Amino acid sequence: MRLDKNVSEIILAFKKILDKTWPEIEEFRRKDETGALLADWGQSCWERTVEKILFQNEEGALQPYGEGGNVCDGPRISEPEKKETHQIVCIGKRENVGDVLGKEKLKVSEENPLIFEQFVTMKENFYYAEHPFDYCLLKNGDKERVIKVVELDFYLSQKSS
């Protein structure tokens, strides 16, 4: 897996968007009868901010944010036919970081990065896609990990074929 560049500033700016708009989205979510508003909102923001900034003058598409949107039988909101070419991966700022879901310390390095799924918060020993978005839901194969945002750096990586 090749890490193209550190994109922490962009990803953390996206997190700020989620944090600042949460009160309004939470109000709309209470009125949403489809159950898709939260996923659609996250995916739309992801495509319109992070993806647009990363791929301004080149072809490319990121993995969906969280579960992605619920449009056109696929996870993308705009350009549903676009195929994922890149993903966001995380590396620990220190040698070991704390996985609060698995209750263990992990070495998350360039040789062993975790794939970013979405920002979450922890309540009663489980994660939820809700404010204050102070944790990251990450994947290591099929295993889910939850690590504090402040313990991680974010990188753009090409997806393996």
Break the chain down into helix, strand, coil percent, rounded to 5. 30, 30, 40
**Could you tell me the residue ranges of all domains in the chain?**
3-158
CA angle 84, 50, 39 (to 5 degrees): 75
Q: How far is CA 120 from CA 96, 135, 151, in A?
A: 20, 5, 14
Mean pLDDT of the chain: 90
Classify burial at 134, counting beta carbons within 10 Å of its beta carbon; exposed 0-12, middle 13-18, buried 19 or more. Answer: middle
Q: Mean pLDDT throughout 137-150?
A: 96
Asked if the model's pLDDT at residue 25 lies above 80, the reply is yes
Residues 6+ apart with CB under 8 A from 4: 86, 155, 156, 157, 158
Quick: pLDDT tens for 103-129: 999 999 999 999 999 999 999 999 999
Percent of the chain's residues with pLDDT above 70: 96
66 has pLDDT over 80: yes
Q: Is pLDDT of 80 > 90?
A: no
| Whether the Cβ atoms of residue 95 and residue 58 lie closer than 8 Å to each other | no
The DSSP letter of residue 122 is E
Higher pLDDT, 76 or 104: 104
**pLDDT tens per residue across span 82-99:** 889 999 999 999 999 999
Query: What is d(CA 15, CA 104) in angstroms, rounded to the nearest whole number?
Result: 25
Q: Which of 151, 157, 54, 83 is nearest to 115 (CA)?
A: 157
